[in-house]
A and B are shown apart, each in its own frame.
Chain A
Amino acid sequence: MKRSLATSIVVASLATGGGAAAQSVDELERNFAGSVQLDYMAVPTDDLAREDALDGATVELSMKLAMDFGDHVSSNVKVCVACHGLEVGMAFFDLRVADELNFRVGRFTPAFGEFPLRHDPANHRTSDKPLPYDMGRMLRTADWNMSVLPAPWVDNGLEVNGTHFFGDDVQVDYAAYAVGGPRGATDSLDFDYRQSRTPENYYVDNNSRPTVGAHLAWTVMSEHLIFMLGASGMTGTFDPENQQSFVVGGVQALMRIEGAFLRAEYLARRTEMSLGEDPASRFRYGPGEDGQFDPYFLKEGFYTELEVPVGRFDFVARWDGLRRRGNVMQMSELRSDSALLRYTLGGAFMLREGLRLKLSGELYDFSDFEDDVVVHLGIAGPF
């Protein structure tokens, strides 16, 4: 009898405790969201484009789980699958003290520029990204070693950010962060993006020094107009010996009138190359008038984009480009001053809720290679 009573008490208390636990779990707000894009990239002006680009069909998938722990703490975990395989794009906590003070801790995309806010394929109308933020879908991606700052730029660290509202129409956003930073090999000439995301090197900083950056934006918003101006910067070192520095800066502008967007961004990155023991045999161009080899190169990128919705269509016209100035390796097909201009016309047609068919044509105007035409046909949507 006593054993039966004790058992009943234990079961009852477990049930009560279990109920309380279940209730507390229910109080947590969870949300699952994601997006998928399947894109086919064709290069009709090139018989075998695979030598110059990652053409053909690619899938970009992202899945995000967000959880809120009350009003001041939330967490986000996001995984992405694309050409680079499975990657964790987000794994962070937001600790919010006020609108003006939020701490973001973990793995995230540090605040830089405007495009990274909408880097998800379901959030922009073209199948690919503007050249300053391209992550491998541009032609001649290996020759250019991608863009200025491939998006999304994911890294581990801490970010302090916030927003102050001046009335209902004006806001100022800021962010300052310290992250692991980009990586490159010892004696390298540029970033090595594969090192930034390969588990073989572990997901840790390669040189024991954080990269720091900041972002500031001023926005005017009304029912019919949004106007934003912003500036971003990031600096640090990227080689294991902490000897090669880089600094990247950018300015952004956005104007929205009714549903139409006009966007423009400019990015520039000054990167220090390793000269090696014998720069004369390593580089194509000789020393300057002072007899010294210039160890820096400057990579610039820009885009302007007009997006206009008309019924179920969203039309996009984009003009973007890259420019690289500085010495190059002996075997490089670039010169000391190389440029690429790209002209894009495209549109997205809403098939049904959330699902869009994307079609775009691009003309690549290279300074060092034959011009090429690219056609993208894709389907994308959130879920």
Chain B
Amino acid sequence: MTRRLLRHAACTTVTAVVFLTLWSCLPGPSLGRLLPGNRPHPVEIREACTVTAVKCTRCHNIDRVLVAQVTSPNQWEAYVARMRRMTASGITATDASRIVQCLVYRSSLGQEDRREAIVGN
């Protein structure tokens, strides 16, 4: 039984690594669904949203951010600070300010723009 398990494990590992290697060659959706593609955005915002997409999806998908019931910049700051305190979040103090920058910017967009970001990407 142990030999069978080891054979399965080896096959699974090799397959997964090959697949991930191929996948890494494809362009990734680094901005997730945070910004709509139908209009230009400042470079610093795009960079901040890239950090947001990477860090926030470490423990949960980006949906959590998209439906968060947050209405003001102060609330976003508190929200991100709380996430930063979660073990394994990987959000540094610098990351936190950039994530807040992205989310406050996203909140300033109209509802239609935000919906376009989710569906259009």
Contacts and interface: CB of A to CB of B under 8 A. Distances in A.
A369 interface: no
A23 to B, nearest CB: 14
A71 B82 CA distance: 9
Interface in B59-97: 59-61, 63-64, 66-70, 74-75, 78-79, 81-82, 85, 87-90, 92-95
Nearest to B58: A226
A94 B85 contact: yes
A258 B67 contact: no
Contacts of A162: 87
B115 to A, nearest CB: 7
Q: On chain A, which size bracket covers the interface?
A: 35 or more
Given A31-B68, A117-B88, A68 B59 contact: no
Contacts of B29: 258-259, 309
A304 interface: yes
Contact of A168 (B12, B69, B94): B94
Contacts of A228: 88
A161 B87 contact: yes
B20 A353 contact: no
Q: Which 6 A-B pairs have the closest CB atoms?
A: A258-B28, A29-B78, A354-B63, A123-B60, A354-B67, A257-B24
B63 to A, nearest CB: 4
Q: Decide if the interface of chain A is mainly helix, strand, loop or mixed.
A: strand
Given A120-B60, A383-B67, 16 more contacts: A29-B78, A32-B69, A111-B87, A165-B92, A168-B92, A168-B95, A171-B90, A215-B87, A221-B58, A224-B30, A228-B88, A256-B58, A304-B13, A353-B67, A354-B67, A382-B67
B32 to A, nearest CB: 8
Interface string A260-280: 101000000000000000000
Interface in B13-66: 13, 16-17, 19-20, 23-24, 26, 28-30, 50-51, 54-55, 57-61, 63-64, 66
A102 B58 contact: no
B60 A118 contact: yes
A161 to B, nearest CB: 5
Interface string A168-182: 100101010000000
Contacts of B58: 221, 226, 256
B69 A221 contact: no
A173 B63 contact: no
Interface of B: 1, 5, 8-9, 12-13, 16-17, 19-20, 23-24, 26, 28-30, 50-51, 54-55, 57-61, 63-64, 66-70, 74-75, 78-79, 81-82, 85, 87-90, 92-95, 115, 118-119
Interface of A: 29, 31-33, 66, 68, 71, 74, 94, 96, 99, 102, 111, 117-118, 120, 122-123, 161-163, 165, 168, 171, 173, 175, 215, 217, 219, 221, 223-224, 226, 228, 255-260, 262, 304, 306, 308-309, 314, 319, 321, 323, 337, 339, 341, 350, 352-354, 356, 367, 381-383
Contacts, number: 137
A66 B13 CA distance: 39
Given A31-B75, A117-B59, A341-B8, A223 B54 contact: yes
B35 to A, nearest CB: 14
Contacts of B70: 31
B69 A33 contact: yes
A142 B17 CA distance: 35
